[in-house]
Structure 1
Amino acid sequence: MKNKKYFLGLLLAGITVTGCGSKDSSSSKNNESKIVTVSLGSKPKSLDPTMYNEIPSLSIVKQIYNTLFKIDSNGNIVPELAESFEYVTPTELVIKLKKGVKFHNGEELKASDVVFSIKRMTEKPATKVMLDVVQSVEADGEYGVIIKLKEPSAPLLFTLSYPLTAILNEKYILEKGNNIGTDAMGTGAFKYANWGDGEKIQLVANENYFGDKAKIDELIFRAIPENTSRLAALETGEIDITTVAPIDVQTVESNNELYAVSFPTTSTEYLTLNMNREPFKNKEFRKALHHAIDKQSIVDAVYLGKASVANTIVNPTVFGSDQTIGKTDYNPEKAKEYLEKSGVKNRTIKIMSNDNSVRLQAAQIVQANLKEIGINAEIETVEWGTYLQMTAQGDYDIFIGGWVAGTSDADIVLFPLLHSSYKGGAGNRANFDNKDYDKLVELGRTSTEPSERLKAYSEAQTILEEESPLIPLYYKNENMGLNKRITNFEAMPNLIHDYSIIEIKD
């Protein structure tokens, strides 16, 4: 079996924390029945794994489905649904599946399901960009799969470890007419029970799971957009696990029934500039914006130090990040020089944000920074679904957003976000088009030599610093609050946690 480790496994090992202390009487009923409630910041778009590359959806998908591979605590690729795998040539991957794995409908996992799933992935926008290297996939008996590639692909195994590439049951999908967004069915440690209009999604433990069975009986996901509302629900025992705003960490820590976890992630928050619109086609104007923004102020005021200034769009925990470049400094005077050089006269723009209070606070600091150099920036706030739709359609000037490098490889950042072949809703929402950049990220994708990939990605990030289609802002920590009855929670840097391993303290 051939297996290469391309990044530090320590970062993917996660942070395992154990709660301690007394039990909240308000949650005693949940404790007896082993029910755990997790709150998400927004309603998931769909439980169809291949539809949306967004954390609210994939957080639930992770519990219901499995992938062919997973990443172990040392950062190595290991089999999950696969029994073994081997590259017989640089462009031919042979996979043997585990026998006896059952879908929630009782059907046994077969090679035909994997073939169907991968072919379906190559047709869906969210996964097409990740698997366009696949030339063909075919079954080799009931438990063998052969994947042939157009060219070598270093990120492929990491891609096939991400919940976006979960394996589906062909028969079930065909019966449902592909409409599984609110009726999920996989092989995972939890079975889907109820959609609840997406506001309260109920899962139950899969007693026939092929791996280590869940330690709890029921897992509920509740969508609570407001930070203050999530914190209040945590304090009253309505929910057990949730993300909290940086300013609320101290409140959690002061509560004897709760504990907080803060950990680095693979995500980057940034501004996307719409290069299909004026004045953002103008490079001097884009560079003026970049020099005008005081990133450290955002880190200090909004994240209370639980973040760091971003030099490049690729988070430092991700393979391929080059933190020696991309250090565009906060310099209002230089920003004014670039602004004058740009010749732009109409200096009124809009910054779009979804209705996340922390992100809105960051947008307000950006707004104030731009005002200092003579740019009037209006903030437009929309709900999450509208935000995704409008940014995909290019209906914005600038938007503040974030990207999680789920596979912990720079390919998942640099290719879909900025390669010219993925302009628009496919990922490149800045509509950036640079042939030299394209060649570099293509080399990073096809080379199997880590040193060559690192060099290509470094040069690509140098181009991004010069062109500024995106303005990296900060690398944030994720802050979570948990009820002390929850133990063995493992915080994952890609924000997609495995809730099957958590336990409830008696």
Structure 2
Amino acid sequence: IVDIPALNTFYVGFNNRVAPFNDVRVRKALNMLIDRDALIKAVYNGRAIAAKGSIPPGVSGYSENTKGYSLDPQKAKKLLAEAGIKELEFDLYHRAVQSAFEICRFIQGELQKHGVKVNLKSMEWSALKDAVNNGEAGAFYMSWYGDYPDGENFLYPLFHSDNFGAGGNRACFKNEEIDKLLEEAIKTDDINKREEMYAKINQKVVDEAPWMYLWHSSESYITSDNVKNIDFSPIFFMDNGISITMKK
């Protein structure tokens, strides 16, 4: 079995335009009520990396120094109190497949430990996309697979305000400073400067917590001893691009 890090991010998105998710303190608090390592162990057999932001390892803009979120119930409760939240209940929309249900059920259980009630709403993929894009879904479990290995692909489509809904920014996140930085970065030719900019933007987005960041997964492949020089692509739907050599 060969595990290949994939260019993806799994997350729970929050509709940043509707209560209670229009309050950054609520979004941050929910990020602090999830034990990501326990979730990865329970539903992914440990074959994933806890996400500190939307950019996965190996992509420009990823930084080990990014300050993400970790389990901190006391700080979370303080933030909810500051936001005037005494009781928190919301619907979590997810795709009608077993894997998504198990993940969302785990999240439901984790939040319930801390007094947050989560109602699971299962939908077929097309209906789920419609519910998210039209603003019906306040919270939704989804993933993003990169089209190419660049930090821009994990930031601009997902968080620039021009891309609300079907454009990729399903959280309807809007921040004028971040919009301007994204526009500046996409015009930058200097590779090193560009990488620094995406790391900076990634941190600024994380600080606003438009998502509950979960993990970056690996893809598993079965091979044998007579298959050599396997070159897997980490890009989604690029299995046809696998390069191998057979040894007789």
TM-score (norm 2): 0.90
1:376 match: 117
Distance 1:261 1:301 in 2: 20
Distance 2:86 2:58 in 1: 40
1:454 corresponds to 2:162: no
Q: Give the 5 Å matches for 1:91-240.
A: none
Letter in 1 for 2:26: F
* Aligned-pair CA distance for 1:481: 4.8
Q: Find the partner of 2:17 among 261, 265, 276.
A: 276
Checking the alignment, whether the CA contact within 8 Å between 1:307 and 1:477 is kept in structure 2 is yes
1:444 corresponds to 2:185: yes
Distance 1:440 1:311 in 2: 20
Distance 2:243 2:56 in 1: 27
1:473 match: 214
1:136-193 Cα deviation digits (max 9, x unpaired): xxxxxxxxxxxxxxxxxxxxxxxxxxxxxxxxxxxxxxxxxxxxxxxxxxxxxxxxxx
Q: Structure 1 residues 361 and 319 mapped into 2: Cα distance closer, same or farther (>3 Å)?
A: same
Of 452-461 and 373-382, deviating more is 452-461
1:312 corresponds to 2:61: no
Letter in 2 for 1:402: S
Higher relative contact order (CA 8 A, sep 6+): 2
How many percent of aligned residue pairs carry the same amino acid? 26
1:333 corresponds to 2:74: yes
* Aligned-pair CA distance for 1:451: 2.2
1:179-233 Cα deviation digits (max 9, x unpaired): xxxxxxxxxxxxxxxxxxxxxxxxxxxxxxxxxxxxxxxxxxxxxxxxxxxxxxx
The runs of at least 4 consecutive aligned structure 1 residues that moved more than 4 Å come to: 481-490, 499-506
Q: Find the partner of 1:362 among 96, 103, 111.
A: 103
1:287 match: 28
Tell me the SS of whatever aligns to 1:302: helix
* Aligned-pair CA distance for 1:461: 1.6
Distance 1:503 1:450 in 2: 33
* Aligned-pair CA distance for 1:391: 1.9
Distance 2:226 2:88 in 1: 53
Checking the alignment, whether the CA contact within 8 Å between 1:321 and 1:410 is kept in structure 2 is yes
Distance 1:502 1:382 in 2: 39
Distance 2:20 2:180 in 1: 27
Q: Find the partner of 1:397 among 138, 148, 152.
A: 138
1:412 corresponds to 2:153: yes
Distance 1:274 1:500 in 2: 37
Q: Structure 1 residues 478 and 500 mapped into 2: Cα distance closer, same or farther (>3 Å)?
A: closer
Distance 1:401 1:332 in 2: 24
Distance 1:428 1:346 in 2: 28
1:452-502 Cα deviation digits (max 9, x unpaired): 212221221221222100121111111245799998864211132226867
1:376-413 Cα deviation digits (max 9, x unpaired): 01111112222223222222011111111221001111
1:324 corresponds to 2:65: yes
1:4-58 Cα deviation digits (max 9, x unpaired): xxxxxxxxxxxxxxxxxxxxxxxxxxxxxxxxxxxxxxxxxxxxxxxxxxxxxxx
Aligned length: 247
1:498 corresponds to 2:240: yes
1:266-312 Cα deviation digits (max 9, x unpaired): 11111110112111001111111011111111111111111111111
1:297 corresponds to 2:9: no
Tell me the SS of whatever aligns to 1:447: coil
Checking the alignment, whether the CA contact within 8 Å between 1:489 and 1:499 is kept in structure 2 is no
Letter in 1 for 2:94: S
Letter in 2 for 1:344: I
Distance 1:372 1:457 in 2: 35
* Aligned-pair CA distance for 1:322: 2.1
Distance 2:149 2:30 in 1: 29
* Aligned-pair CA distance for 1:324: 0.9
**Structure 1: gaps spanning 5 or more residues:** 1-259
2:173 match: 432
Compare CA radii of gyration and give the structure with the larger one: 1
Distance 2:215 2:62 in 1: 14
